[in-house]
Amino acid sequence: MKTKNLLLLGLAGIFFFWAAERPGNSQDSPNKEIAPYGVPACFVPGQLVVKLASDGRTAASANEFLYSRYRGQIQSLRREKYSGYLLIDATPGTDLAELKKSLVAEKWVQDVSFNYLASMNAQIPNEQFFSYQYALLNNGQVFYPEKNLRGTMAADIKATEGWTWSTGSSGIIIAIIDTGIAVGHEDLKNKIVPGYDFVNDDTDAQDDNGHGTLVASLAAAETNNGIGIAGVGWNASLLPVKVLDDQGNGNYLTIAAGIKYAADHGAKVLNLSLGGDNDSFILKDACQYAFDKGCSLVAAAGDDGSDAVQFPAAYDLLCTAVGASDASDKLADFSNRGPQIDVVAPGVWVYGAAFDPARPTELRFYDWGNGTSLAAAHVSGAIALLIAYKPLLTNQQIMAIIKYTADDVNASEKPGIDMDMGYGRINLQTLLSPYNLD
């Protein structure tokens, strides 16, 4: 695109399919299964682990005794080579709890345990459409049933692992500097703080396009509320700052005003899912103003597939420039490339809250979109979590950490930092787990 006087949002890369909330896709909690041994399936079915007393029998003599005494209840028994404990596989149908009780009573046994199961630490929200959100948790599932689109295992931002460290805080405000937000949307209405409309010069920052609503939901939709989608920023608040009109267009002066407003009204993260081709002191000075006030600025790289990162993302020292990846950790073909690219995040067939200006009272829409705008929203949510967890970090440190903790997902083709994906796809697990800044 060749923007002269107008700043074009990059909506060409955003495709909306306004569709009502789809029934029958709820993420119901699975029922707890009961193993065929009379105990809950929270451990390996049919297994017991025996720790012998230090002055008790040897493993060999214990084997002989157990087979003899508990004939019919033990299918196999062996000494586990790493721990030295005895591992029992019970005969199917055995009451494992009763067998455990009997073994504990033996004088040569110090203790008996079920072989409990464990898994990665993960915070799984109960959102209705969470299975559609491959960006947050990608198990290789079909995430877009109507198109039969399937993800690649682990090609996600590790949100569920990251949320075990931080689910954010309502005191951390993400400014959505965009077309506004549908402030009455069911998955956003409890997250909104009063904002401003710089297009119409009033305090009603209502979305009249739909783009800002989708971006806002990905950054910080209300999460674990049983409806809609999960927002990366989980508990973060949202500040709507409308700087783009109903067509997704705006000018640098209006956007600059919005950036300064956000910085002056408590926003810690400024999401700029917009871009123009031209460098100007108007935009740069506003970004510098917000940066000097300690704000973290996140900007979309652009959606025309060129080798030129758009502004403000191209302000390398002020903004985290974000490109878009897909459900297999590949670079989106529309994602702009360049030396300013810091990281990528999912931006291809992403599902989120939707708003149709033609039906302004219908506030339960969710739909699909594409674009670096959506990728940037994921990064803004991630930074909001980081600030809540590590509030003493400077914005410079945050810019470094978001890069250095990314996964170099195209290392087989372009190892290290590159112009396509920068440092790689963001990873909330490494972003939020303990680290040493030295």
**Which residues participate in catalysis according to the annotation?**
178, 211, 373
Among 354, 74, 413, which Cα is nearest to 221's?
354
Task: Please enumerate in sequence order all residues whose Cβ is within 8 A of that of 23, keeping only pairs 6 or more positions apart, or say none.
Answer: none
Q: Torsion angle, CA of 429/430/433/438, rounded to 10 degrees?
A: -170
Assign 77 to helix, strand or coil. strand
Return the structure tokens found at 268: 């810690």
Q: Is 282 exposed, middle or buried (0-12, 13-18, 19+ CB in 10 A)?
A: middle
Residue type for 242, please?
K
Among 55, 187, 136, which Cα is nearest to 327's?
136
Return the structure tokens found at 331: 């670079």
Strands (E) across 376-434 are located at: none
Rounded distance between C-alpha atoms, residue 323 and residue 194, angstroms: 29
Residue type for 355, please?
F
Q: Can you say how many angstroms the Cα of residue 266 is from the centroid of all Cα atoms in its chain?
A: 24
Return the structure tokens found at 261: 């407003």
Going by the DSSP 8-state scheme, the letter that residue 12 receives in this structure is G
Going by the DSSP 8-state scheme, the letter that residue 244 receives in this structure is S
Residue type for 335, please?
S
Determine contact, residues 86/80, Cβ cutoff 8 Å.
Answer: yes
